[in-house]
Amino acid sequence: MAYTETTTTGYGTRVGNSFKAIGSGILMFIIGTVLLWWNEGRAVKTEKMLDEAGRAYVEMENPNKKDASLEGELVCGTAMATTEDSLTDAQFGLGAKAIAIMRTVEYYQWVEHEQRKREDKLGGKEVTTTTYTYSKEWVRRPVESAEFKDPAYQKKNMVLNTFEDVEQYAENVSFGAYQLSENLIHRISSREAMDLALSEDMLTQFDKLTQAAYERFYGVKNAVQEPVQKPVQQPVVPDSIKALLSDSAKAVIDSIQAINDSIQRVTDSIMAKAENKKDLEYVHQAGNVLYFGRVPGSPEVGDVRVTFEKIVPAKVTVMAVVDGNTFKPFKAKNGKRFQTLVMGKKSGDEIIDAEKEANNIILWALRIFGILLVIGGLKGIFGFIETILKVVPFIAGIFGWGVGVVCTVIGIAWSLIVIALAWLFYRPLLGISLLVLSGFLVWVFAFKGKDKLKELAAKGKAKNADPLPATE
């Protein structure tokens, strides 16, 4: 059930807050402008670096054998990334010979969601209605329910156990006859489920601790039992009776008994697996997941699940500079550095093309973000005008819409000017084109918009000047 909270902000407070927001708006405007300039320079430098790397790299034909002639060269080679290091999760006593092992922890908790609705009132007051709803979800961190707004959900959360997320990487990972650097090792993504070989003593101890935590919060409950169904014994037809039957009837009976034997073997196999399964009342193991709770298929608040994974040897392609028996980043003439590792076999051209595409995506993402910051900053600077007019919400709404349009147009034009100036600094031809476009937008808004207003005003005067129709 939803819980609502209503607050009222007075007109004077709102006006004061709007003037305070001017400083935040100016700061946002400056940050957006700086971001736009920096982003253009970053993109150009990265593209030039990638072009230089694309011309400089050489194919490493056989990474399994060291080649002195490749020392200091930017190379692109494919080989198996392997390791002999053994990694251990000391808390659970798990180990594996792997490039990395990971432990991921999730908690089943009540989560608070809020939705705000603001309404302007005549006289300048603002009424804010906040609706709080609650749902049970798997989250990565325990949720402090004591801070929930709805008293009915306060202190409803608990956890049966707490663990930390863990990532351990091998220090020695081979790439043919070479060793991978730490940065390249962390790029390997060949994840697999980790085999769990937990001791009976550890599981029993976990079960006792989890049961104690459960009973402190929920109280004592009956144990959850999942009885194993015993196989139904199928009747066997005696040979004395079979002798009296026809051959066809005997064949049917033999077929039925063969089917029954197959069912029995499958049942025996299932029962054997059930008997060997490490499954206690409050701790359950399924594959690479260790579950703390009564029933994994029906989670309760406080349940915890821990997933164990490992990164296994895999074929990878490295693009970096050979440095003895390892690799280091390529340094371009403009100072930008570059090295990468991708999964599978890739050519140098494919890697360069993919990096350029990623650079372009980042460029546009930061452009959009920067433009939004500039527009938001302008709205923050001039928002006090709309707030002052909130005494009459209808008028304020119309004026606010106009301020929003003006701030958006000016913000886009300013952003284009900043981008154009940045490109003038880095690439003059495109910069001039962007300046022309931004100038056109300003001209359309400043002059054409003014002419349109004059035209509308003239039509309004003409309409008011028309004589009223005569009445009979």
Q: End of a domain among 277, 302, 326?
A: 277
Q: Is 97 inside a domain boundary?
A: no
Supply the range of the domain harboring residue 243: 236-277
pLDDT value, residue 136? 96
One-letter amino acid identity for 102? Answer: M
Q: Is 135 inside a domain boundary?
A: no
| Tens digits of residue pLDDT in 187-238 | 999 999 998 888 889 999 999 999 999 999 998 776 665 544 444 454 555 5
pLDDT at 291 over 70: yes
One-letter amino acid identity for 347? Answer: S
Give, for 105, the enclosing helix (H) or strand (E). strand 100-120
Q: Is 290 inside a domain boundary?
A: no
Q: Is 471 inside a domain boundary?
A: no
Q: Is 252 inside a domain boundary?
A: yes
Mean pLDDT score across all residues of the chain? 84
**Contact residues for 406 (Cβ-Cβ < 8 A; gap 6+):** 382
Q: Which residue has the higher pLDDT, 385 or 320?
A: 320
Q: Is 292 inside a domain boundary?
A: no
Taking the CA of residue 390 as centre, how many other CA atoms within 13 Å lie in the half-sphere pointing to its CB?
23
β-bridge mates for residue 108, sequence order: 138
| Tens digits of residue pLDDT in 402-440 | 888 888 999 999 998 898 888 888 777 666 776 677 667
Q: Report the number of distinct structural domains present in the chain.
A: 2
β-bridge mates for residue 117, sequence order: 129
Q: Is 177 inside a domain boundary?
A: no
pLDDT value, residue 159? 95
| Tens digits of residue pLDDT in 113-147 | 999 998 877 777 888 899 999 999 999 999 999 99
| Tens digits of residue pLDDT in 440-461 | 766 666 666 556 555 655 655 5
Q: Is 396 inside a domain boundary?
A: yes
pLDDT at 470 over 60: no
Task: State the Cα–Cα distance between residues 272 and 441, nearest whole angstrom.
Answer: 77
453 vs 79, 185, 384, 447, CA distance in Å? 69, 64, 25, 10
**DSSP letters of 403-457?**
HHHHHHHHHHHHHHHHHHHHHHHH-HHHHHHHHHHHHHHHHIIIIIHHHHHHHHH
